[in-house]
Amino acid sequence: MRTLADTGTTTRLVRARQVGGLWRLFRKAPLIPAVILLAVVISAVFARFLAPEAPTFGNLSDAFIPPAWVEGGSSAHLLGTDSLGRDVYSRIVYGARVSLIVSIFAIFIAGSIGTVMGLASGYFGGRVDGVIMRLVDIALALPTILMALVLVAVLQPGVATVIIVIGCLNWANYARQIRGEVLSVKERDFVILARSIGSSPARIMSRHILPNVFNTIIVLATLQVGSVILLEATLSFLGLGVPPPEPSWGQMVAEGRGFIVVAWWMALFPGVAIMLTVLSMNLMGDWLRDLLDPRLRQI
Amino acid sequence: MTTAAGNQQPLLDVQHVRKYFPVNKGVLFRRPVGYIKAVDDVAFSIAPGETFGLVGESGCGKSTLAKLILLLEPLTDGEITFEGQAVTRLSGDPLRKYRGTVGAVLQDPFSSLSPRMRVREIVGDPLTVTTDTPKRQIDERVAEVLDQVGLNPASASNYPHEFSGGQRQRIAIARALSAFPRLVILDEPVSALDASIRAQIINLLKALQQDLGLSYLLIAHDLGTVRFLSDQVGVMYLGQLVEKSTSRQVFTNPLHPYTRALLSAALPVRPDVQREEVVISGEVPSPLDPPSGCRFFPRCPAAMPICETVQPLLAPAEDGHEVACHLYPTSVPQGTTAAGSRGGG
């Protein structure tokens, strides 16, 4: 009897500890950033249902209506309207779509290029390493925004161009980080054993090394989202990003800049959206890094 | 164990193998300023079903030799033949077959299994790479070898971190066996394991050898393991074999002063019994600049004047027992005056 009861207690304790372990994993997850990011994702996906008006619909007689809680505001336009009478709130909701699409695809491109370069550089070493690392040095030495401006000016402006340009400018960080990881992973015995049976370099890199550096790629990608959104906003602000009337947060800030004295809400709210999203993404990235890469903890 | 007859064709034959690593200096124009002679003229052979044990201090070139046989590093000079074929000149299908015929088990079972692969993928990998076996047959083979090494075949879908150190080494052994090897290179297979697990793994290796007719190249610094598993033993010092004979002869009647010191340094079975102690002083000299003559002379308790200038040859001293030491007249190269080669030992 006694033993049975004891066993029962132990089982409960073990279970509690397991649940506790799972809880501990997520306990440190930043709640507010998570909620904000979730809201951004939901806005992007369900913009059609969340926005009261189409982002490009404007009625000039409704121009410069202030936010609802300010004197003269209307409950029909929660965050007011812009110079063309378009609903600022609706445009921010739709703008989340651009930010999300651009960051996901641009990071995918940058991550893919960077990972391949980093794997090749770290695995082959020697001359390959030398060439790739000099390319990385060059890429990191280029002023990103200036280069982006030049490239976008040469190419057709549009979402695809922005994605490609940002993707091609951000790979160097991945390459450098992945290379470092590969250098340590490739000396481990399982890679040496894979070489001893004559596995091809492609197979060793994809099957043996890549899975062991994947955490790093994920963490880097998360940490990059913030800066990519900022870069997209910057390009749009400078008029070389997403062409109007398609809404983008950076472009909204740019348009609002001219009316900052008469209609401060035009620039303020998209600016706040950028800031909150980037901040949340960075906090999430920090958390994910701590979770996946214990070596970087306490840094 | 069976002591294979000497006239049998050896499975693996290593002849005059050298491996020099260049040491480069210079900022703009890197040029070699010297060579680390990791393996310098080593020869031995392994008969089918036999175990050749290699012993020596760390850094003496044992593991480099293993890497050469696994074709992980190109040879500087010499020849390695496997079943009569020169392996360094293999390419295409014969090379692929050789890679499968030689398995390897390394020291650290935590580093030798990829943490991101399932046991099934790890164990089946040699078969996937060196043969065109269909996936279903690979899975069957994986279950079979897991059973052979004493693991539950159902554990194939688990990840390595779910196993203990001893179980991981069993997985590593299963991996080495999956592609039906004839020779398995065991590079310190038990030195990372607890003493209690060690015996299990050693017995497993011995049982597998008997069941499957495997040959082993055993590299270890633990003399007990080498003595228990090996038929032939080679003692390495600074990239060279200094003594080679049957396991029994090396352990009961060591001829080279270095071997004597090595055996004397091992923990005795009966610590209360008084033994002759041979203590050598100093460190292993740098393989970048090995001593002239006999490489062991600066540390040798029986050094003579000739040792400083003339390099002794590995030659038979008594009934098949080979030793490279001027204490034994056969080691003195021809044309050299044997003066001073007499003397106590």
Confidence of residue B141 (pLDDT cuts 50, 70, 90): very high
Report whether B311 contacts B326 (CB < 8 A): no
> Is residue A222 predicted with pLDDT exceeding 60?
yes
Task: Using a CB–CB cutoff of 8 Å, tell me whether B90 touches chain A.
Answer: no
> Is residue B212 predicted with pLDDT exceeding 90?
yes
| Arithmetic mean of pLDDT, B140-154 | 94
Closest residue of chain B to A212, computed from CA coordinates: B116
Q: How far is B332 from chain A (nearest CA, A)?
A: 39
The pLDDT value given to residue A22: 58
Q: Which of B83, B5, B6, B14 is nearest to B234 (CA)?
A: B14
Per-residue pLDDT of B264-314, as tens digits, reads: 887 776 777 777 777 777 777 887 888 888 888 888 888 888 888 888 888
Confidence of residue B7 (pLDDT cuts 50, 70, 90): low
Closest residue of chain A to B103, computed from CA coordinates: A197
> Is residue A8 predicted with pLDDT exceeding 70?
no
| Arithmetic mean of pLDDT, B176-185 | 94
Closest residue of chain A to B73, computed from CA coordinates: A196
Report whether A292 contacts A215 (CB < 8 A): yes
Per-residue pLDDT of B69-112, as tens digits, reads: 999 999 999 999 999 889 988 888 999 999 999 999 998 988 99
Confidence of residue B344 (pLDDT cuts 50, 70, 90): very low
Which of A182, A188, A190 best tests the B interface by mutation, with the highest count of B CBs <10 A?
Answer: A190
Per-residue pLDDT of B18-54, as tens digits, reads: 999 888 877 777 777 788 888 989 999 999 999 999 9
Per-residue pLDDT of B235-263, as tens digits, reads: 999 989 999 999 999 998 899 999 988 88
For the domain covering B12-252, report its CATH number: 3.40.50.300
Q: How far is A207 from chain B (nearest CA, A)?
A: 9
Q: Of all residues in chain B, what percent carry a pLDDT higher than 90?
A: 49
Q: What is the mean pLDDT of chain B?
A: 87
In A, which residues are within 8 Å of B130 by CB distance?
197-198
- For chain A, which residues make up each domain, given as ranges? 30-296
| Arithmetic mean of pLDDT, A150-178 | 87
Q: How far is A290 from chain B (nearest CA, A)?
A: 19
| Arithmetic mean of pLDDT, B207-223 | 92
A190 → closest Cβ in B96, B112, B179: B112
Confidence of residue B145 (pLDDT cuts 50, 70, 90): very high
Task: Give, in order, the Cα–Cα distances in Å from B216 to each of A227, B46, B52, B310, B334.
Answer: 56, 8, 6, 34, 35
Report whether B77 contacts B18 (CB < 8 A): yes
In A, which residues are within 8 Å of B22 by CB distance?
none
Strands B232-237 and B51-55: parallel
| Cα three-residue angle B63-B43-B265, rounded to 5 degrees | 55
- Mapping DSSP to helix (H, G, I), strand (E, B) and coil, where does residue B299 land? helix
| Arithmetic mean of pLDDT, A161-165 | 87
Task: Using a CB–CB cutoff of 8 Å, tell me whether A61 touches chain B.
Answer: no
> Is residue B116 predicted with pLDDT exceeding 80?
yes
Q: How far is B122 from chain A (nearest CA, A)?
A: 9
Weakest-pLDDT range from A77-81, A171-175, A195-199, B127-131: A77-81
> Is residue B320 predicted with pLDDT exceeding 60?
yes
Torsion sign, CA atoms B28, B31, B32, B33: negative
Instruction: Give yes or no for a cis peptide into B271 (omega within 30° of 0).
Output: no
Task: Using a CB–CB cutoff of 8 Å, tell me whether A100 touches chain B.
Answer: no
DSSP state of B34: E
From the number of C-beta atoms within 10 Å of its C-beta (0-12, 13-18, 19+), residue A24 rates as exposed
- For chain B, which residues make up each domain, given as ranges? 12-252, 255-268+276-345
Report whether A221 contacts A215 (CB < 8 A): no
Torsion sign, CA atoms B150, B155, B159, B163: negative
> Is residue B61 predicted with pLDDT exceeding 70?
yes
Q: Cα A96 to the chain's mean position, in Å?
A: 12
The pLDDT value given to residue A229: 83
| Arithmetic mean of pLDDT, A105-121 | 94
Task: Using a CB–CB cutoff of 8 Å, tell me whether B70 touches chain A.
Answer: yes
Provide ipTM, 2 decimals.
Answer: 0.87
- Between chains, do B99 and A208 touch, taking CB under 8 Å as contact? no
| Cα three-residue angle B14-B179-B192, rounded to 5 degrees | 70
In A, which residues are within 8 Å of B117 by CB distance?
207-208, 211
H or E segment and range at residue A150:
helix A144-154
In B, which residues are within 8 Å of A196 by CB distance?
70-72, 99, 102, 104
Q: Of all residues in chain B, what percent carry a pLDDT higher than 70?
A: 92
Token reading at B119: 């046991």
The pLDDT value given to residue B298: 87
Strands B12-25 and B31-46: antiparallel
Q: How far is A112 from chain B (nearest CA, A)?
A: 20
Q: How far is B343 from chain A (nearest CA, A)?
A: 47
> Is residue A109 predicted with pLDDT exceeding 90?
yes
Per-residue pLDDT of B10-20, as tens digits, reads: 899 999 999 99
Task: Using a CB–CB cutoff of 8 Å, tell me whether B198 touches chain A.
Answer: no
| Arithmetic mean of pLDDT, A18-23 | 57
pTM of the model: 0.81
- Mapping DSSP to helix (H, G, I), strand (E, B) and coil, where does residue A29 land? coil
Per-residue pLDDT of A186-205, as tens digits, reads: 999 999 999 999 999 999 99
Which of A187, A191, A197, A203 best tests the B interface by mutation, with the highest count of B CBs <10 A?
Answer: A197
The residues in A 200-229 lying below 8 A from B, measured between CB atoms, are: 203, 207-208, 211-212, 214
Q: Cα A190 to the chain's mean position, in Å?
A: 33
- Between chains, do A196 and B70 touch, taking CB under 8 Å as contact? yes
B111 → closest Cβ in A188, A197, A211: A188
The pLDDT value given to residue A137: 93
* Domain at A30-296: CATH architecture: Orthogonal Bundle (1.10)
> How many contacts (CB atoms, under 8 Å) link A and B?
54
Task: Using a CB–CB cutoff of 8 Å, tell me whether A182 touches chain B.
Answer: no
Q: What is the mean pLDDT of chain A?
A: 83
